[in-house]
Every structure is written in structure tokens, then in C-alpha cells.
Amino acid sequence: MQIIANPFPFEFQLDRTALVIIDMQRDFIEPGGFGETLGNDVSLLQAIVPATQAVLQAWRRRGGLVIHTREAHRPDLADCPPAKRNRGTPALRIGDEGPMGRILIAGEPGNQIIEALAPIEGEIVIDKPGKGAFYATGLQSELRGRGIRSLVFMGVTTEVCVQTSMREANDRGYDCLLLEDCTESYFPAFKAAALEMIRAQGAIVGWTAPSASLLAALEG
Ligand code: C5J
């Protein structure tokens, strides 16, 4: 398949490509969650849910591999570096009791993927202690075992966990596409800059495209 993308068309083979949905977890997206307690406007992130859901459903209809990630730590915080937990002076730190359970802890209500995008049987869920999806996870072996060569990214936030994961993937030899209307940041200027950085210099990190480009190919 070939789709219209920036800075030039993106080519991929469906059975060699995974759809990777980064950190669409309740604490980042839903009102009353951790993201909102930090003073962020979560409505920005909620706005991408319909487009993200449409791509997920189309990808599922074509039988494509789906991978979900969550930024999640073990309850004993053994996988949370003190430098990550202790930085700054936030009202709530990782592991503290928040409005939807302990912040960024696996198994807590706020750490679950939002209902609209909830994983179904056969989809892979990766809990990651870092911003990147490859660091200290089994993602690389899951992809290798299935002969995956290309990754299509959606999720939040564009300049943090999405961009970090794309850079990790690019360095590991994957062709990466980011769907522009299926990713968001609490800071619109950071999203715009991240999209520019990714596709600059001849797709130095990867490609970007509107979801309509991919949907047209999947449904065509
Ligand atoms: C993600 C974050 N998922 N912004 N986390 O980007 O800390």
C-alpha cells in the first residue's frame, strides 16, 4: 500500500505493519484525572478520540496487528527511577493516591486505556516505565517475532511519549508514520513542532499524514 504523506508518500505492507497506540490512558485523557490535576486542558486530548477510534476500527477490520502502550510502573515503584519520581514540586507524584487511584501504577483505574479504544483479545498491551515504548519492555521481540517492518503511530502526548517511541523505533530500523489528527499534546505549539521535526530532512524520524489518507487505503 502507498498513502499520501509528508514529506513524501509512505509505503507499507499491511501484514508487516503494526498500529501502535501510545498511552491513551484515562489519567491523561479524562476529566478528573491526573492530567487535569496538573492544570492541563484534557479536552485537547479528548478531541482526537473519534479519529483515533475510526482508524483502530478500520485497522481491526483489515486484521492488522494492534499494539497499545500504557505509561505504567510496578506498585512497588522498583521500575521508577528516583530522578523521575522526585523531580520538581508537583502536588502529586508517581505512586501517590490520585483521583483515579495511584498515579501511573499498573492496574489502577486511571492507568486503564479509555473505553473507546480498549484493547480486544489478540491485541498486545505493553506497560512501559519510560517515555519510549522500547525502553525496558518486550516490544522489540514482539515485533521481531511477527516480522514487522513498519509502524503507524497514534496517541499522546505528541512531543513526549509518541515522539520518543518513534525515535526509538526509527533507530531500530522501522519505517514510522504518525497520524496527524490522531495525536495531541497539552501544548499545541509542541505538537506542531514535533510534527515538523519528525518529517524534516527527508523524513529523518518518519512520515506524518492525516488519518483520511490511511483510511482511504484501508477501505479502498
Ligand atoms: C506521555 C507524558 N504519554 N506526557 N506521557 O506522553 O508524560
CA 132 to centroid of ligand 1, rounded, Å? 9
CA 63 to centroid of ligand 1, rounded, Å? 28
CA 86 to centroid of ligand 1, rounded, Å? 16
Cβ 161 under 6 angstroms from ligand 1: yes
Let me know if 32 is exposed, middle or buried by CB neighbors in 10 A (0-12, 13-18, 19+): middle
Cβ 104 under 6 angstroms from ligand 1: no
| pLDDT at residue 220, rounded to an integer | 84
Q: Do residues 68 and 124 make contact, with C-beta atoms less than 8 angstroms apart?
A: yes
Question: Exposure string (b/e) for 52-65, b if CB count within 10 Å is 16 or more?
Answer: bbbbbebbeeeebb
Q: Of all protein residues, whose CA lies closest to atom 3 belonging to ligand 1?
A: 161
Q: Do residues 184 and 22 make contact, with C-beta atoms less than 8 angstroms apart?
A: no
Q: Do residues 44 and 188 make contact, with C-beta atoms less than 8 angstroms apart?
A: yes
CA 21 to centroid of ligand 1, rounded, Å? 13
Amino acid (one-letter) located at 98: G
Does the pTM surpass 0.95? The reply is: yes
Cell numbers found for residue 36 = 487535569
Alpha-carbon gap, residue 116 to 114, rounded angstroms = 6
Cβ 160 under 6 angstroms from ligand 1: yes
| pLDDT at residue 157, rounded to an integer | 98
CA 52 to centroid of ligand 1, rounded, Å? 17
| pLDDT at residue 97, rounded to an integer | 96
Cβ 3 under 6 angstroms from ligand 1: no
**Residues designated as active site:** 23, 128, 161
Residue to mutate, 22, 71, 80, ligand 1, most ligand atoms under 8 Å from C-beta = 71
Q: Of all protein residues, whose CA lies closest to atom 5 belonging to ligand 1?
A: 161
| pLDDT at residue 63, rounded to an integer | 98
| pLDDT at residue 142, rounded to an integer | 98
Cβ 126 under 6 angstroms from ligand 1: no
* Tens-binned pLDDT, residue by residue, of the chain (220 aa): 999 999 999 999 999 999 999 999 999 999 988 899 889 999 999 999 999 999 999 999 999 999 999 999 999 999 999 999 999 988 899 999 999 999 999 999 999 999 999 999 999 999 999 999 999 999 999 999 999 999 999 999 999 999 999 999 999 999 999 999 999 999 999 999 999 999 999 999 999 999 999 999 999 8
Q: Of ligand 1's atoms, which has the minimum distance to the CA of residue 161? A: 6
